[in-house]
Amino acid sequence: MSRTIDRKKGPAFQALEGINFIPVREVALPNGIEVSLLEAGSQDVSKIDWVFPAGAVQAGKPLLASTVGNLLLEGTATRSSAEISDTIDFYGAYLNAQTFHHNTVVTLVCLTRELPHLLPLVEDVVRNAAFDAREVDIYLNKRRQEFLLESEKVRTLAARYFGSVIFGADHPYGKQLDLSHFDTLGREELIAFHRAAYTPLGCRIVVAGQPGNDILALLTRHFGGSDWQAGNINLNGVGEGLSSPEKFHLLEKDGALQSAIRIGRPMFNNTHPDYIPLQVLNTILGGYFGSRLMTTVREEKGLTYGIGSSIVSYPKGGMWVIASEVMGEMREDATAAIFEEMQRLIDEPVSEDELEVVRNYMLGELLRQFDGPFSSSDIYRTLWEYGLDYRFYDRMVEVVKTIGPPDLQALAARYLQPGDFYTVVAGK
C-alpha cells in the first residue's frame, strides 16, 4: 500500500464546545444537613466529604484546627486508635481529615459495598472523638518533626513567609505556625473546639461516585438524627489584610544551592468580575508548560527546573503568586526575567496565535478537571463555599472563547504593574 502523509502539517482538529457537568442532586437530612450527590462513574466506589466549619480561621490560631481534624481518627469513647485504623484498612478504605482556612473536610473513599461497615465508624469519630492525652502527645511530637523537616526546605520557607508579607503576620491568612504553638496547645482547647465546630450547624455532605440506592437512608441513620446537637461555632470574621511596607524580603539560608522565589500581590477572590478573564492572562504568563515564564526562565535561559503562576482564591481575599526555585547564583537574573515578562504583557498585545493555543489548552484543561465524579465533586464543593455553582465554569468557557488581545492588555496594565508586586526569596 502506498500512501504519503504530510508530517510537517498536523491533522485537522476540533475546538471544544463546552463541558458536560455531572448533574447534582441536592437533598437535606432531617436535622437540616444539606447533602449534594454527584452520581456517576464506571466503578462501584464512593467518595464522601463531610465539611465542617472547623478551619484555621474559626480556631483563631495556628495548629488547633488541623490537630483536632487529625485526632478524630485517634480514638473515641468506645474505639481505640488501633481499632479505627484496623477497620479502615480491613475494608480497603481511606479516611482522612484536611484542614483549610475556613473548614475541615473529612473524606471517606471506599468500595460502595463497604459503606454499611464504615459509616458507623465515621459517625463515631466525628461525634465522639476522645482526644486521649497520650494520642495528643504522639500526634504533636510527630507533627513537630514534620514541621522541622519542612523548615529545612527553601520552598517552604518562602511560601510561609510570603503569606505574612501579603496579608500581614496577624491576619488569619498570613499567620505562621512556629515552634511555640506546639508548646502551648492544650487538650481542653481541642475538646472545646471539637464540641463547638463538629456539629450539624454548618456541616454539609458531598457524595460522589456510585453510592447505591441506600445512601440517603445510611446518611440519615448516621448523620441525620436530632440527638446530634447543633454547636455554637463562632464564624470568626476575617478583617482587611495589611501587606508589608517592604516590597523585597530575603531569608538567607546557609549552604542553599537554590533560591526559592515567590513574587506576587494581594488580589480579590473568584467572585470578582475580573477573576475569570485574569485566569486567561495568568495562563499566558505562567499557567501551563508553554507559558511565557516557562519558555523564558526554563526553556530559554535554563535557570530553573520549573516555574509557575497562579491566582489563589480564598473566601475573604486572594493573591497572585509566581513560584520557582532557581540557580542560587542567578537569582537576580531570574527575578529580573519574571518582571520583564509581566511588563511585556503590559507593553505588547498577545498575538492571536498564542491566544489560540491558550484558549484550547484551557478548554482541554477544564475537560480534564471535570473528568469523573470525584474531581467534579471537589470542584463543586469549593464553588459552594463561595456561593457559586457550575455557571461559574459556563462563564469561564465563554470568556476563554471570546476574550481578545486588547482585553488582556488592559487587564495586564491594571493588575500586573511590577510596582504592586512583592518579592520573597529564601536561600541566597
Among 27, 216, 251, 357, binds other proteins (CB under 8 A): 357
* 62-101: contacts with other proteins (CB under 8 A): 73, 81-82, 85-86, 88-93
Q: Judged by CB under 8 A, does residue 398 bind other proteins?
A: no
CA angle 412, 415, 416 (to 5 degrees): 65
* 130-169: contacts with other proteins (CB under 8 A): 138, 141-142, 145-146, 148-149, 151-154
Copy the grid coordinates of residue 25: 442532586
CA distances from 207 to 25, 279, 391 (A): 10, 29, 20
Segment interacting with other proteins, rule: CB under 8 A, options 164-172, 228-236, 254-262, 311-319: 254-262
Beta carbon nearer to other proteins, 1 or 77: 1
Beta carbon nearer to other proteins, 374 or 390: 374
Phi, psi of 26 (to 5 degrees): -110, 125
Beta carbon nearer to other proteins, 43 or 226: 43
Q: Is 26 left (phi over 0), alpha (psi -120 to 50) or beta?
A: beta
Burial 233-266 (b: 16+ CB within 10 A, else e): beeeebeebebbeeeebebebeebebbbbbbbbb
Q: Could you tell me the smallest distance in angstroms from the CB atom of residue 80 to other proteins? A: 10
* 24-63: contacts with other proteins (CB under 8 A): 40-45
Q: Judged by CB under 8 A, does residue 418 bind other proteins?
A: no
Beta carbon nearer to other proteins, 146 or 188: 146
Segment interacting with other proteins, rule: CB under 8 A, options 25-33, 172-180, 272-280, 302-310: 302-310
Beta carbon nearer to other proteins, 142 or 414: 142
CA dist 134 and 189 (Å) reads 15
Beta carbon nearer to other proteins, 82 or 192: 82
**In contact, 57 and 236? CB cutoff 8 Å:** yes
Which residues 6+ apart lie within 8 Å of 289 measured at CB? none
Q: Report DSSP state, residue 92.
A: T
Beta carbon nearer to other proteins, 288 or 386: 288
**In contact, 294 and 358? CB cutoff 8 Å:** no
Beta carbon nearer to other proteins, 365 or 378: 365
* Alpha carbons within 13 A on the beta-carbon side of 312: 18
Q: Could you tell me the smallest distance in angstroms from the CB atom of residue 67 to other proteins? A: 16
Q: Judged by CB under 8 A, does residue 363 bind other proteins?
A: yes
* Alpha carbons within 13 A on the beta-carbon side of 221: 13
Beta carbon nearer to other proteins, 120 or 290: 290
* 170-189: contacts with other proteins (CB under 8 A): none
Q: Judged by CB under 8 A, does residue 10 bind other proteins?
A: yes
Q: Enumerate the β-bridge partners of residue 25.
A: 37
Q: Judged by CB under 8 A, does residue 319 bind other proteins?
A: no
Q: Enumerate the β-bridge partners of residue 275.
A: none
* 230-249: contacts with other proteins (CB under 8 A): none
Q: Considering CB under 8 A, how many residues would be counted as binding other proteins?
A: 72
CA 53 to chain centre: 16
Copy the grid coordinates of residue 315: 473566601
* Alpha carbons within 13 A on the beta-carbon side of 38: 24
Beta carbon nearer to other proteins, 171 or 359: 359
Q: Could you tell me the smallest distance in angstroms from the CB atom of residue 162 to other proteins? A: 18
CA dist 39 and 214 (Å) reads 13
Segment interacting with other proteins, rule: CB under 8 A, options 27-35, 243-251, 320-328, 409-417: 320-328
Q: Could you tell me the smallest distance in angstroms from the CB atom of residue 257 to other proteins? A: 5
Q: Could you tell me the smallest distance in angstroms from the CB atom of residue 276 to other proteins? A: 18
Kind plus residue range of the DSSP H or E element containing 108: strand 104-111
Among 24, 27, 111, 191, binds other proteins (CB under 8 A): 111
